[in-house]
Amino acid sequence: MSSIRQAKQQRIPAFLRSWGGVFGAGWLIFMFLASITARWWRPYDVAEQDLIARLQGPSSEYWLGTDAVGRDLFSRVFTAGALPLQASAVMVLVAFGIGLPLILIAAERGGRVEEAIGRFAETIMSLPSTVILLAAIGAIGNRIYPVMMIFGLLVSAALYRILIGVAKSSRQHLYIDAARVDGMGSIRVNLAHVLPSMARPIAVQAAIVYAIGLLIINGLAFLGFGPGEPQPSWGFMIKDASDNIFNSPWMMVPSRRRPLAHGHGGECAGRCAGRTPRHPGVHPP
Amino acid sequence: MPLYIAKRLAIGVGTIWAAFTLTFLLVHSTDNSPGAVRLGMGATPEEVEVENERLGWNRPLLTQYADDLGKMVRLDFGQSLINRGDVRDQLSDRLPVTASISVLATLLAGIVGTALGVVAAVRGRGTAKAVNAFSGFSLSIPSFWLGVVLVYFFAIRLDLLPATGYSRFSEGVGSWLQSLALPVITLAIGGAAVVARMAASGMREALAREYITTLRAIGTPEWRIRYIHALRAASLPVVGALGVQFIVLFGGSVIIENLFALPGIGQAALFGATGNDFPILIGVVVMSTAVVVITNLVLDLLTAVLDPKLRTR
């Protein structure tokens, strides 16, 4: 009986077996869907101003209050989510797109190849990423997708350093040797055996890196490199709230809600997905 | 040990070179040109062309690269396109501000983080859970939001610390520390969270080692075992984490400086990015990377001192 229950539980991913994981994943999914669809259900347009009701606290009319020019914060908070959620996903794809092949090659070849790739990754990892991203914006302009792809390149080095150990130890399994002896090609072995055995640490790192991407995008928006006004962005809403903190401290609350929820949701899901990663590895800025 | 230091040094030089090359390629990958930036919106294409020719922008890419690389080695980043001042002079005024914020924040993160981590490892499960919850929470907070909240409570409500502005070290240590207190605390909280996790796991691992059992058996006092023998072993991963943290906090201070109106490298980076000031951008990237590399070298030396295994190499 208990073995049946165990077998059933195995099918549920580990992180959904704890309350933190369920909360994190659920919150992320809810926010993701709500943000992507916000343009169809939001109560006010993001640019709609109510100049009489400026800097208000929450009310039945404006659920999260209004900003300095009387725009509805509830609509703005949700609409602002769409772009960072997508741009950060692109960043994660780029990071793994560059990182994973290098990890697999280094783990398979070892020796000189591994050392060369390792040195390169170490070099990239010691670059101060925020400064590089600002330089990128100064050079190619305020275009969030290319800038986040450059960030993905920087992150791939950190991924390499964290996951290379996992890849190497998963190549130690006997069934990898068996597959090789059986005449399976290098690429097929990697795709069919090495990668699946790394699924859990990959998922953990993806969740963490995704949350970091959101933080970076909001940090850039805070500095003024978000979507231009009147389009809302979380970072710029925090900036806006900080400018009005003397006369309207309430604005800090809704502007905070989203980045926190995502950062924490990602962290939670990530941490619970694999038992706490030994290497905190990639860090938020 | 000399071999170890030589290796770290080589990686450091490689990092600075990579930073320069990456930024150089970025700057040269756009349609924008320094002539257009310098002359502004009103200039005709012919005028821009003349200015680009004068600045050497039209030379072959490799010639420019070799030329700029040679100048960078001599710490010459040219003139700003916007205010025509020497980039090196402008940045070297700002560097101490950013460096002191990030060094102080790293130190604070190291001390607070280690203390929390040790407490989490030594005390019972409840404390460990509390510390873990704290670090999970602080990791997901954007530092700039935390900064605004701290300003609200400590500068506006309680009026304890100045909200913005910078007071030079030469104007008095007290006012210097006061002007840096809020930005440093803001940055250090996130760093402390990471360090706490490293310290806790390092400490737990160290306390489970066999030599600790031996020390207990021969009757060494518990505080000596914990705070001298185990902490020393646990300090290795912590110092390693501090190196990464310094890079992260240095980047974070770029954002925080703008929140607290501190005249550091971050503001220069922001102006450079807004105004497409290419020489400033390259200068900022190279000088920031140099600071990060030097700090990490110092931490590597510290690791070598702490780790007997490395000393003999």
Q: Flag whether pLDDT at A25 surpasses 60.
A: yes
> What mean pLDDT is predicted for residues B285-304?
85
Query: What integer pLDDT is reported at residue A16 of this predicted model?
Result: 64
**Contact between B145 and A259 using a beta-carbon 8 Å cutoff:** yes
Does residue B277 lie in a domain region? no
List the single residue in A245, A252, A283 with the smallest CB-CB distance to B194.
Answer: A283
Query: What integer pLDDT is reported at residue A275 of this predicted model?
Result: 36
Domain count, chain B: 1
Instruction: Say if residues A113 and A173 touch (Cβ distance below 8 Å).
Output: no
| Closest residue by Cα to residue A284 from A141, A195, A155 | A155
Instruction: Say if residues A267 and A211 touch (Cβ distance below 8 Å).
Output: yes
d(CA B273, CA A137): 6
B62 CA: distance to closest CA in chain A (Å): 19
> What mean pLDDT is predicted for residues B262-279?
85
Does residue B284 lie in a domain region? no
Other CB atoms within a 10 A radius of the CB of residue A60 amount to 5
For residue A6, name the pLDDT band (cuts at 50, 70, 90): low
Q: Flag whether pLDDT at B249 surpasses 50.
A: yes
Domain A81-273 has CATH 1.10.3720.10: yes
Query: What integer pLDDT is reported at residue B144 of this predicted model?
Result: 78
List the single residue in B152, B248, B293 with the smallest CB-CB distance to A285.
Answer: B248
Interface of A with B in 96-155 (CB under 8 A): 119, 122-132, 134-141, 150
- β-partners of residue A72 are A66
Query: What integer pLDDT is reported at residue B65 of this predicted model?
Result: 87
The SS3 call for residue A158 is helix
Residues from chain A contacting residue B274 (CB–CB below 8 Å): 138, 224
- For chain A, the average pLDDT equals 74
Q: Flag whether pLDDT at A207 surpasses 50.
A: yes
* B212 CB-contact burial (10 Å; exposed 0-12 / middle 13-18 / buried 19+): middle
Per-residue burial over A98-120, b = 16 or more CB atoms within 10 Å of its CB, e = otherwise: bbbebbbbbbbeeeeebeebbee
For residue A143, name the pLDDT band (cuts at 50, 70, 90): confident
Residues from chain B contacting residue A126 (CB–CB below 8 Å): 11-12, 15, 247, 289, 292-293, 296
Q: Flag whether pLDDT at A283 surpasses 50.
A: no
- For chain B, the average pLDDT equals 83
For residue A10, name the pLDDT band (cuts at 50, 70, 90): low
> What mean pLDDT is predicted for residues A46-63?
70
The answer to whether the pTM exceeds 0.90 is: no
Does residue B303 lie in a domain region? no
Q: For the packed helices B2-28 and A129-140, what is the interaxial angle rounded to 10 degrees?
A: 20
Best residue of A126, A222, A250 to probe chain B, by most B CBs closer than 10 Å: A126
Q: What is the share, in percent, of chain B residues with pLDDT greater than 90?
A: 5
Torsion sign over Cα A224, A226, A230, A232:
negative
Q: How far is CA B59 from the centre of its chain?
A: 35
Q: Flag whether pLDDT at A31 surpasses 80.
A: no
* Domain positions in chain A: 81-273
d(CA B19, CA B286): 6
Q: Domain containing B225 — which CATH number?
A: 1.10.3720.10
Does residue B3 lie in a domain region? no
For residue B149, name the pLDDT band (cuts at 50, 70, 90): confident
Does residue B147 lie in a domain region? yes
Question: Could you tell me the residue range of the domain that residue B242 belongs to?
Answer: 96-264
Q: Is the peptide bond before B279 cis (omega within 30 degrees of 0)?
A: no
For residue A216, name the pLDDT band (cuts at 50, 70, 90): confident
d(CA A175, CA A197): 11
Query: What integer pLDDT is reported at residue A91 of this predicted model?
Result: 93
Tokens of A54: 């400026």
Of the two residues B271 and A21, the one the predictor is more confident about is: B271
| Closest residue by Cα to residue A133 from B49, B170, B192, B252 | B252
List the single residue in A222, A268, A278 with the smallest CB-CB distance to B144.
Answer: A222
A265 CA: distance to closest CA in chain B (Å): 9
Residues from chain B contacting residue A128 (CB–CB below 8 Å): 247, 250-251, 254, 285, 288-289, 292
Other CB atoms within a 10 A radius of the CB of residue A65 amount to 21
Q: How far is CA B24 from the centre of its chain?
A: 22
Q: List, as one string, the DSSP characters of B249-284.
A: HHHHHHHHHHHHT--SHHHHHHHHHHHT-HHHHHHH
The answer to whether A232 faces chain B, any CB pair under 8 Å, is no
Instruction: Say if residues B80 and B277 touch (Cβ distance below 8 Å).
Output: yes
The answer to whether A81 faces chain B, any CB pair under 8 Å, is no
**What one-letter code names the amino acid at B48?**
V
**Segment B51-100, tens digit of pLDDT:** 777 777 778 888 888 888 888 888 777 777 777 778 788 888 888 888 88
Does residue B141 lie in a domain region? yes
For residue B130, name the pLDDT band (cuts at 50, 70, 90): confident
Does residue B181 lie in a domain region? yes
The answer to whether A249 faces chain B, any CB pair under 8 Å, is yes
Of the two residues A203 and A237, the one the predictor is more confident about is: A203
**Contact between B140 and A139 using a beta-carbon 8 Å cutoff:** no
**Segment A191-200, tens digit of pLDDT:** 888 888 888 8
Lowest mean pLDDT among A136-145, B26-35, B199-208: B26-35
The answer to whether A282 faces chain B, any CB pair under 8 Å, is no
For residue A273, name the pLDDT band (cuts at 50, 70, 90): very low
Query: What integer pLDDT is reported at residue A152 of this predicted model?
Result: 93
**Contact between B142 and A259 using a beta-carbon 8 Å cutoff:** yes
Query: What integer pLDDT is reported at residue A284 of this predicted model?
Result: 39
The answer to whether A210 faces chain B, any CB pair under 8 Å, is no
Does residue B70 lie in a domain region? no
Interface of A with B in 29-68 (CB under 8 A): none
Query: What integer pLDDT is reported at residue A280 of this predicted model?
Result: 36
d(CA B163, CA B260): 7
